[in-house]
């Protein structure tokens, strides 16, 4: 039986950023999940439905999905890890809104490859019936997808609505603790939401 405290807990679900010391475990979990058949199927289905932003050259959606996931696993394997505090997150959002263009130089990146978790959502992605927060990004090389002049690949990660999953479990008769354990064991903490290729700036290309 749920008491009023339990109900309040269910009503107030939101993104809670991990502590900096917890990010290595989150990073390791994502690397494991990217190699799971579940992620391959979801990515393949998305590409087959035309929902991907970037399609690598491949014979079919399955091969394209395998390329995307393999590259992301490699990027995360070599990634430096970052935790962005509330002040810096707010400053980044303000500065990002005034960027003159979408080009970048490699020297402007914190590291060649990285995984960054924000203390608050940096945007939202519309999904059927909901809006999910974008809370992390990773970046690095994309040998299969980068143009001849080079680019940095960005992957944006969203936080699934854990509280909605908990509500469904509670409605099915489970306790909150039972549902939380199931959610923790049955899915990744973050989900690949979108991706982008950011080309190197013209100034850098002229110097090559």
Contact 135, 17 (CB under 8 A): yes
What is the average pLDDT across 24-38?
89
pLDDT, residue 168, reads: 60
pLDDT, residue 14, reads: 62
What is the average pLDDT across 13-33?
86
pTM: 0.79
Percentage of residues of the chain with pLDDT beyond 70: 74
pLDDT, residue 163, reads: 64
Q: Residue 160 pLDDT more than 90?
A: no
Say how far apart CA 11 and CA 167 lie, in whole Å: 9
> Highest-confidence range of 109-113, 162-166, 172-176, 201-205, by mean pLDDT?
109-113
């Amino acid at each position: 039986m749920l008491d009023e405290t339990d109900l309040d807990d269910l009503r107030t679900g939101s993104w809670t950023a991990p502590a900096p010391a917890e990010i290595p475990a989150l990073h390791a979990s994502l690397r494991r999940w990217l190699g799971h058949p579940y992620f391959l199927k979801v990515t393949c289905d998305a590409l087959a439905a035309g929902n991907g932003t970037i399609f690598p050259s491949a014979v079919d959606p399955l091969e394209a999905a395998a390329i995307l996931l393999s590259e992301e696993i490699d990027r995360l394997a070599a990634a430096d890890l970052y935790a962005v505090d509330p002040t810096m997150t707010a400053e980044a959002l303000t500065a990002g809104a005034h960027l003159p263009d979408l080009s970048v130089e490699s020297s402007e990146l914190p590291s060649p490859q990285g995984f960054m978790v924000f203390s608050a959502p940096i945007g939202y992605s519309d999904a059927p019936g909901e809006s999910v927060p974008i809370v992390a990004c990773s970046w690095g090389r994309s040998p299969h997808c980068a143009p001849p002049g080079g680019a940095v690949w960005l992957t944006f990660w969203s936080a699934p609505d854990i509280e909605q999953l908990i509500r469904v479990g509670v409605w099915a008769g489970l306790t909150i603790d039972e549902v939380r354990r199931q959610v923790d064991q049955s899915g990744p903490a973050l989900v690949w939401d979108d991706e982008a290729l950011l080309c190197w700036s013209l100034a850098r290309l002229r110097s090559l």
